[in-house]
Amino acid sequence: MKKNRTVWSNRLSKGNSKNFQRIGSSINVDKRLYKEDILASIVHTHMLIKQKIIPKKDGLRIIKGLKKIEKEIDKNKFKFKEQFEDIHQNIEKRLFQIIGESAGFLHTARSRNDQVVTDFKIWVKHSTEDIIKFLDNLIRSILNKSENNINTVMPGFTHLKNAQPVSFAHYLLAYVEMLIRDKKRFLNNIILIDECPLGSAALAGTAFKIDRKFTAKKLGFKKPTNNSIDSVSDRDFAIDFLSAAATCAMHLSRLAEDFIIFNSEAFGFVEFRDKVLTGSSIMPQKKNPDPAELIRGRTAINYGNLNSMLTIMKGLPISYYKDLQDDKELVFDSYDTLKDSLLMAIELIQNLNTKKNNMKQMAQKGYTTATDFADFLSMKKKFPFRKGYYISSKLVNYAEKKKIRLDQLSKGEINKFVKVDIDIPKMFDVVNSMNSKTSFGGTSTKNVKKMIIKYRKDLK
């Protein structure tokens, strides 16, 4: 075998064209898998020795050589070569340089087809665990911020129109619910990914007496995969990661959108510390919430990657095809993007100040307690809700015409619509309204406090 050539250099007499060598090579992307690749090779070699498939002496030299290579890469002393196409050949070729012909025993009973999917699954599993940690940190930040805003009343919105008064903490906890679902989704992925493809070889399995349960266990998988063809064809785990990442990014984009709106001069609900803001090159006064906009915009990156991966897989005959090469770049990019978005979300939350007066003032606009009055008629006057609703809407029309708030109406004015004896300021008070929502999951401070305690407990 020629030293500086691919393993198939005998079969394919000439090297690849310059363009194709550059384009076909994936080493710039998949070198990120070097630790997983070396780990899997070491475990594979241990198994080959244990099963007496290769001589122990050669096996041990392989393992030693692989560890040396890992250190070289760790220390940035490894020279990745494009002509060896990918991380697998780069390492095997270097192994030959270090330990000579013994290196030839390494690729027994395996193929790059099962090797790459094993490496990649290990990486995705660990990266999923990483994301879960970031999710926990974000939840923690939100809980801290919520704790200081249990009594902060703001208008809840539907259609971006003032709807009913809610607690800012309750609003923030809605995001905790989303993030908890994200965690569940990522945790489900870890269960789905938990089968080891190593030993499926090219696509048919192998005649060597390998022990796949051994390698599966040593690599942290629950068991080996059931079908060798499926093993090398399957990229569901990549889609699952990208899909959970897309949904999580979507949640963050909603938070970002809310913050961008709340941070506008018109809303003025929140402000952020300078360390998460940027200025303008022309407008001297500007303070822009760039991180929120990046979170929102980059959701599109997470979507696009999912879209690309699904498109790659659509109508692909089974088993391995080079189309699959780009799976790693897509997943790496979605991981990096989501991690950065989570980081920015954490910093935004930590650097956010609530402008409570503005929030409260805004909560009083838009007749946000009209529903409370309808409910009151239903409770106290035993009106059908639709009747109470109808009367309340007449009251709103009247107040709107007079350009006053509902709590500025006189008893006499109200009595023109319905005979009731109420404490007007209390009836239409936004804090009262908020605290009356004591149904499970409602926005009363009592509920909110309980939920924060519960979330904290679940986090531990």
Q: Tell me the closest approach of the beta carbon of residue 124 to its own copies, in angstroms.
A: 15
Tell me the C-alpha distance between 354 and 61, whole Å.
Answer: 63
Q: Tell me the closest approach of the beta carbon of residue 412 to its own copies, in angstroms.
A: 20
Cβ neighbours for 20, distance < 8 A, ≥ 6 positions apart: none
Tell me the C-alpha distance between 283 and 286, whole Å.
Answer: 6
Q: Is 111 a catalytic residue?
A: no
> In one letter, which amino acid is 299?
T
Q: Tell me the closest approach of the beta carbon of residue 223 to its own copies, in angstroms.
A: 9
SS (HEC) of 216-246: HHHCCCCEECCCHHHHHHCCHHHHHHHHHHH
Annotated catalytic residue within 17, 264, 280, 410? 280
Taking the least distance from each CB to its own copies, the nearer of 75 and 373 is: 373
Annotated catalytic residue within 159, 253, 378, 444? 159
Taking the least distance from each CB to its own copies, the nearer of 78 and 190 is: 190
Q: Tell me the closest approach of the beta carbon of residue 115 to its own copies, in angstroms.
A: 8
Answer for the pair 240, 265: CB distance below 8 angstroms, yes or no. no
Strand duo 223-224 + 195-196: pairing: parallel
Tell me the C-alpha distance between 171 and 156, whole Å.
Answer: 8
Residues in the chain: 460
Q: Tell me the closest approach of the beta carbon of residue 99 to its own copies, in angstroms.
A: 11
Give, as one character, the DSSP assignment of residue 278: B
Neighbours of 157 (CB within 10 A): 16
Taking the least distance from each CB to its own copies, the nearer of 71 and 454 is: 454
Specify burial of residue 195 (Cβ count, 10 A radius: 0-12, 13-18, 19+): middle
Q: Tell me the closest approach of the beta carbon of residue 132 to its own copies, in angstroms.
A: 16
Tell me the C-alpha distance between 259 and 142, whole Å.
Answer: 13
Q: Tell me the closest approach of the beta carbon of residue 76 to its own copies, in angstroms.
A: 19
Q: Is 393 a catalytic residue?
A: no
User: Which residue in the block uniquely carries the two structure tokens 């090469």?
Assistant: 325
Q: Residue 139: name the closest of 345, 416, 444 by CA.
A: 345
Answer for the pair 257, 144: CB distance below 8 angstroms, yes or no. no
Q: Tell me the closest approach of the beta carbon of residue 86 to its own copies, in angstroms.
A: 9
Strand duo 352-354 + 270-272: pairing: antiparallel
SS (HEC) of 44-59: HHHHHHHCCCCCHHHH
Tell me the C-alpha distance between 202 and 433, whole Å.
Answer: 66
User: Which residue in the block uniquely carries the two structure tokens 């990522």?
Assistant: 186
Taking the least distance from each CB to its own copies, the nearer of 71 and 297 is: 297
Q: What pairs with residue 161 in β-bridges?
A: 158
Specify burial of residue 428 (Cβ count, 10 A radius: 0-12, 13-18, 19+): buried
Taking the least distance from each CB to its own copies, the nearer of 75 and 330 is: 330
Q: Tell me the closest approach of the beta carbon of residue 89 to its own copies, in angstroms.
A: 7
User: Which residue in the block uniquely carries the two structure tokens 């959108």?
Assistant: 257
Taking the least distance from each CB to its own copies, the nearer of 122 and 193 is: 193
Residue 49: alpha-carbon gap to chain centroid = 40
Q: Residue 168: name the closest of 344, 343, 362, 345 by CA.
A: 362
Tell me the C-alpha distance between 62 and 104, whole Å.
Answer: 9
Known catalytic residues are 159, 280
